[in-house]
Structure 1
Amino acid sequence: MNQILKSISYIFHPLLMPLLGVVFYFSKTPRFIPEPAMKAKVFSIAILTIVLPILLFYLLKTLNKVESFHLETVEERRIPLFINGSIIILVLVRVLPINEIPELYFFFIGILISTVTCLMLAFAKFKASIHMIASAGFFMFAVAVAIHFKININGTIALMCIVIGAIATSRLHLKAHTPIELATGFFVGLIPQLVLLNYWM
C-alpha cells in the first residue's frame, strides 16, 4: 500500500497536468483544428512544461538550490515556482496566444495565477500542495469544457474525483502536507479557473 500511494504522487505529478488539460481539450472540442496544428501545440507544451522544468530542476540540484524533486521545504519552492511562472508566460506569448484558442489561453492564465499565488504563499512560509493545485485546476477546466461544449463526461468527472482523493491521501500518507495545506492547494488551483470562466464561456 505504501508503494501504491507513493507511486500516485509520481503518476499524477503537477508537471503533467497542463499537458493533460491541452490533450483533454483537443480530444473534446468540436471545433475544427488541423491535426498538424494540434500536434505542434501538444509537442511545444510538452517540451516547455515537462522537459524544460526537469532539465532546470537538475541544474538547480547541481547548484544545491534544491534537494528533492518534491520540493519538500518552503525555501526550495521559490526558485522553481518563479521559473515555472516564467515558462507559463512563454507558453501564453508564443504557443497559445488569446486569438487562437481562447479556452486554452485562459486555462494557462489560471495556471499562472495559481503559480504566482503559490509562490507568494511560499514567501509567506506556507507550503500549499502543488499536487492539489494542479489537479484541481485541471478538474475545473475539464468540467468547464464539458459544460461549454455540452458534452457528457460524468464518468470522467467521477474518475477525476477519485484521483484527486487518491492524490490527497497519498500526500497525507507520505506526510508531505497537512490537511490545511491540501485544502489550500485545492482552492488555489480551482478558484482561478472558476473565475476565468467569465472570459471564455
Structure 2
Amino acid sequence: MDKLLKSISYIFHPLIMPILGVLFYFSKSPRYIPIEIIQAKVISLFILTILLPVLLYFLLKTIGLVNSINLETTKERTYPLILNGIVVLIVLQRILTPSQSAELYFFFVGILISNMACLLLAIMKFKASIHMIAISGVTMFFIALSIHFSININGTLALMVIIMGAIATSRLHLKAHSYVELIIGLFIGIIPQLILVTYWL
C-alpha cells in the first residue's frame, strides 16, 4: 500500500496535467482542426510544459537551489514556480491564441493564475498542494468543456474525482501536506478556471 500511494504522486504529477487537458480538448472538440496543427501544438506544449521544466529542475538541483523533486520547503518552491510561470507565459505568447482556441488559451491563463497564487503563498511560507492545484484545475476544465460542447463525460469526471481523492490520500500518507494545504490547493486550482469560464463558455 505504501508503494502504491507513493507511486500515485509520481504517476499523476502536476507537470502532466496541462498536456492532459490539451489532449482531452482536441479529442472532444467538435471543430475541424487539421491534424498537422494538433500535432504541432501538442509537441510544442510537451516540450515546453514537461521536458523544459524537467531540465530546469535538474539545473536548479545542480546549483543547489532545490534538494529534491518533492520541493519539501516553501523556499525550494520559489524558483521552480517562477520559472514555470515564465514557461506558461511563453505558451500564451507563442503557442496558444484566443482567436485559434479560446478554451485552451484561458485554460492556460487559469494555470498561470494558479501558479502565481501558489508562488505568493510560498513567499508567505505557506505550502499549498501543487498536486491538488493541478488535478482540480484540469477537472474544472473538463466540466466546463462538457457543458460547452454539450457532451456526456460523466465517466471521465467520476474517474477524475477518484484520482483527486487518490492524490489527496497519497499526499497525506506521505506527510507531504496537511488537510488545510490540500483544501487550499483544491480551491487555487478550481477558482481561476471557474472565473475564466465566463470568457469562453
Which TM-score band applies after superposition, normalised by the shorter structure? over 0.9
TM superposition score normalised by structure 1: 1.00
Matched residue, 1:164: 164
Secondary structure, in 3 states, of the residue corresponding to 1:193?
helix
Q: State the 1:99 CA deviation.
A: 1.3
How far apart in 2 are the matches of 1:98 and 1:108?
11
Q: State the 1:164 CA deviation.
A: 0.1
Matched residue, 2:9: 9
Matched, 1:78 2:78: yes
Unaligned runs of 5+ in 1: none
Q: State the 1:143 CA deviation.
A: 0.7
How far apart in 2 are the matches of 1:181 and 1:97?
33
List per-residue Cα deviations over 1:83-132 (Å, max 9, x = no partner).
00000000000000111100000000000000000000000000000000
Matched residue, 1:109: 109
Matched, 1:119 2:119: yes
How far apart in 2 are the matches of 1:112 and 1:70?
20
- Code of the aligned partner of 1:84: N
Q: State the 1:19 CA deviation.
A: 0.3
- Code of the aligned partner of 2:176: A
- Equivalent pairs counted in the alignment come to 201
Matched residue, 2:92: 92
How far apart in 1 are the matches of 2:78 and 2:63?
15
User: CA RMSD of the aligned region, Å?
Assistant: 0.4
Structure 1: 4+ residue segments shifted above 4 A: none
Matched residue, 2:50: 50
- Code of the aligned partner of 1:72: E
How far apart in 1 are the matches of 2:98 and 2:147?
20
List per-residue Cα deviations over 1:44-87 (Å, max 9, x = no partner).
00000000000000000000000111111100000000000000
Q: State the 1:159 CA deviation.
A: 0.5
Q: State the 1:37 CA deviation.
A: 0.2
Question: Percent sequence identity over matched residues?
Answer: 62
